[in-house]
Structure 1
């Protein structure tokens, strides 16, 4: 019998894991299924570009995985039963008013090994009015909705981006560059770029000043209304459009299972990305709570998700074929920030993601970031390239008595 591997989610982490597994294992030995709600790969790191009217190259999964042996299922995951080893899926277009069709479209997939990579969506942080009145760029539908709203704004209309992290910086600079006629502002809870090196902070402030962005530092937004946001100090900041970039919330399916999860719903895994409570389940990307260099938790990002996918795929292949387990801690090299199409910031960091003095800025940094984005998309679009062609035969079911590897502490 073939060993059944089911991968849930085809973002950067899930798609890369599926391709790497197809490359590592013989088709005669494994049945590899990839489940995703959309038929095309979404370059999530470019959603700020999509929101400002730029067109992105379509990347159909049917073309990416043609000839790889990966079976693609376009469906939504509604439940995972880790005791029965089943996944419940619903046809992606069978939602809302089409209740009868939705019920008829419900199916179960059985697995021997599950790779959970359902990722995350935007998080309103419980702020009143955010869910009703704010826009986001955490998904393609969200970015397209923001795109429509920005296109309708007249010159001089105020736009407020809430959140001073990487997503917020990319969003506010892209909007300000694409629409210099708008009154664009950024609301950051702390100091602007307070995690960056002095050089990085100076360059960031220079770019924002050059784009005419008003920066509200040490400003927590406590409510969102149709025409303004309210700060913790009681001030009302005008906002015809509010863009919310204050963090991510993981897909809720894992929390409803018997898997061990953190308080935020992320699956707790060891250094091979295997669940500490259910060894036949692996979690990668934003859905997983894993540690990197120095035992520090990995942040939600593409920079974490792809290496996590490599680690999980190699560990699964090793356990199935009797190979050597990967035990190298994941580490960071830099943080890449696009600041519009002509400016960028590459902040070099320690292995555990702390800024060092060195930083690359300007057009060179913008080109560097573009190469990183293209490289990540290339890795997804060419799942069968970049690895030795040698596939190993499956010799056994994954062992359940491996020596436990270090894990992250649930938050």
Structure 2
């Protein structure tokens, strides 16, 4: 029996766990899935949670029911890749023969004051605290730091849900700068319609209890600061001796194995996955395909076969702009914008389809099937 340990039960970790459980069912694989929370977190919808919307609750034990996967609730405190062991915060030690590392990423809190004074999207509980804080404000200013897609979605969602609050989006560049000109114009108009104040060229040097400090000394008052400017890998990867990049992500080969410890596979935001056009950036669009491919690579290795190389191409940049608007920028495989985009009702329907409940996808995987979109993104899985 091969003891397979999957650390992290987000979109990527659950997909990898189900896929490898199905692929090793007849060959004696034992799969354990470890996660700090017993609840599946829809990270794609955390901006909705922040705005006070209540989403469906998915217990992880139910999500993986019928697969033979053993769910273990616990927070990973460290890895001993030499002994092939993962240590949990409560002292439990879990051994493994093969490891799939899917712990994702956390907010880059390198700017002074972020860890102490800013709200972040590192987990569901923290997002619920932000929602409660916003609900308790009769008036005031909310600063959203970061003009990427997460920052834009958050600013729009909060502004729409809490019109009594003044939302300020601070960003170094133009919001949604990766999109095409027409899609960006729609995004800009939506933020203006929702009353979001956009300040470009903003370089935040410090987060304070009641505001943020910009380069040059200007203070911007804030009754709540949400930090969305970047992420990095969790400490266990680098501390274990695994080869990591400058952002703490595990460096992997074409089969998604660690280049330093081939018994470890890394997926999703936790992995530095190279493609001809560069290293993948963290999105669910790329995350689930890496989870599926790592599981297939591991299954092939256990059968004595050579795994296929991972190939991936981006398709879109979907952005919700509150509950009543959205914009979708279609892209080339390297994520550069194409001419085509959607806006308004068509974009809303598209966005809800791609970021809706993951249960149908997990259901297909339980039956040994792979969603059609996975083939479209990867050009076929191993």
Once the 2 structures are TM-superposed, how far is the Cα of residue 109 of structure 1 from its aligned partner? 1.6
Choose the corresponding residue for 1:158, options 141, 147, 156. Answer: 141
Q: Check conservation: 2:35, 2:72, Cα contact below 8 A.
A: yes
Aligned to 1:158, the other structure's residue is in SS state strand
Q: Deviations over 1:78-120 (max 9, x none)?
A: 1211111111123xxxxxxxxxxx4xxx122221111011111
1 CA distance for matches of 2:104 and 2:169?
Answer: 26
- Aligned CA distance change for structure 1 residues 28 and 192 (closer, same or farther; 3 Å): closer
Counterpart in the other structure of 2:180: 197
Counterpart in the other structure of 2:376: none
Q: Deviations over 1:108-141 (max 9, x none)?
A: 22211110111112222x2222222111223212
Once the 2 structures are TM-superposed, how far is the Cα of residue 307 of structure 1 from its aligned partner? 0.8
Q: Check conservation: 1:12, 1:380, Cα contact below 8 A.
A: no
Q: Check conservation: 1:347, 1:359, Cα contact below 8 A.
A: yes
2 CA distance for matches of 1:243 and 1:219?
Answer: 15
Q: Check conservation: 1:137, 1:146, Cα contact below 8 A.
A: no
Say if 2:314 is the partner of 1:338: no
Q: Check conservation: 1:118, 1:287, Cα contact below 8 A.
A: yes
User: Any unmatched runs of 5+ in structure 2?
Assistant: 371-382
Cα root mean square deviation, aligned: 1.6
1 CA distance for matches of 2:292 and 2:206?
Answer: 41
- Aligned CA distance change for structure 1 residues 349 and 295 (closer, same or farther; 3 Å): same
2 CA distance for matches of 1:86 and 1:192?
Answer: 43
Aligned to 1:34, the other structure's residue is in SS state strand
Which residues of 2 match residues 381-396 of structure 1 at below 5 A?
383-385=365-367, 387=369
Which residues of 2 match residues 256-271 of structure 1 at below 5 A?
256-271=239-254
Which residues of 2 match residues 112-131 of structure 1 at below 5 A?
112-124=97-109, 126-131=110-115
2 CA distance for matches of 1:375 and 1:271?
Answer: 30
Once the 2 structures are TM-superposed, how far is the Cα of residue 149 of structure 1 from its aligned partner? 0.9
Counterpart in the other structure of 1:87: 86
Aligned to 1:135, the other structure's residue is in SS state coil
Say if 2:236 is the partner of 1:253: yes
1 CA distance for matches of 2:169 and 2:287?
Answer: 27
Counterpart in the other structure of 2:161: 178
Choose the corresponding residue for 1:374, options 346, 350, 356. Answer: 356
Aligned to 1:368, the other structure's residue is in SS state helix
TM-score, normalisation: structure 2: 0.93
Once the 2 structures are TM-superposed, how far is the Cα of residue 383 of structure 1 from its aligned partner? 4.2
Once the 2 structures are TM-superposed, how far is the Cα of residue 191 of structure 1 from its aligned partner? 2.0
Aligned to 1:205, the other structure's residue is in SS state helix
Counterpart in the other structure of 1:44: 43
Which residues of 2 match residues 4-403 of structure 1 at below 5 A?
4-26=3-25, 29-90=28-89, 102=90, 106-124=91-109, 126-155=110-139, 157-292=140-275, 294-323=276-305, 325-374=307-356, 376-380=358-362, 383-385=365-367, 387=369
Larger Rg: 1
Aligned to 1:243, the other structure's residue is in SS state strand
1 CA distance for matches of 2:35 and 2:239?
Answer: 19
Aligned residues: 370
Aligned to 1:164, the other structure's residue is in SS state coil
2 CA distance for matches of 1:381 and 1:153?
Answer: 41
1 CA distance for matches of 2:241 and 2:306?
Answer: 29
Q: Deviations over 1:213-237 (max 9, x none)?
A: 1100111111222222221133222
- Aligned CA distance change for structure 1 residues 175 and 203 (closer, same or farther; 3 Å): same
Once the 2 structures are TM-superposed, how far is the Cα of residue 328 of structure 1 from its aligned partner? 4.4
Aligned to 1:253, the other structure's residue is in SS state helix
TM-score, normalisation: structure 1: 0.86
Once the 2 structures are TM-superposed, how far is the Cα of residue 385 of structure 1 from its aligned partner? 3.2
Q: Check conservation: 1:47, 1:138, Cα contact below 8 A.
A: no
Once the 2 structures are TM-superposed, how far is the Cα of residue 361 of structure 1 from its aligned partner? 1.2
2 CA distance for matches of 1:45 and 1:327?
Answer: 27
